[in-house]
Amino acid sequence: MTKEKAKYSKACLLCSRRHQKCDDQKPCNRCIKHNKTCTKVTKIVEVTFPPPTQPVSQNSNLETPLSPPSSAPLEPLF
C-alpha cells in the first residue's frame, strides 16, 4: 500500500521554470534581478511513496550457486 502526500509549490513562474528556490517575496529577488513580472503560481504536486521492501531472509534457497564448484577448473575471462 502506498501513501500519498500533497506538496504545494509556491514558487513564482520564473523560479519555477528555472527550477530555482523562490524567496517568497513580492516581487522575489530573482524577478527583480532579471526585470521580470513576478507571477506567483500555486500548484499541487502529489508525492507517492513506494511500499516498504521485504528483507531477504538468511535461509532463502538459492537456485544457482554463488561460486563455481571447487573441482571445476577456472577459466580466464578475457
Please report, in tens digits, the pLDDT of each residue of the chain (78 residues total).
455 566 666 788 899 889 988 888 889 999 999 999 998 866 665 667 777 777 666 555 555 556 655 666 677 776
Contact 41, 16 (CB under 8 A): yes
* Within-domain flag for 32: yes
Residue with cell 538459492: 62
Count the domains in the chain: 1
* Within-domain flag for 44: yes
**pTM score, whole prediction:** 0.42
List, in sequence order, every residue forming a beta bridge with 45; answer none if it has no partner: 7
* Within-domain flag for 17: yes
Q: Which residue range forms the structural domain that includes residue 8?
A: 3-49
* Within-domain flag for 43: yes
Give me the CATH number covering residue 39.
4.10.240.10
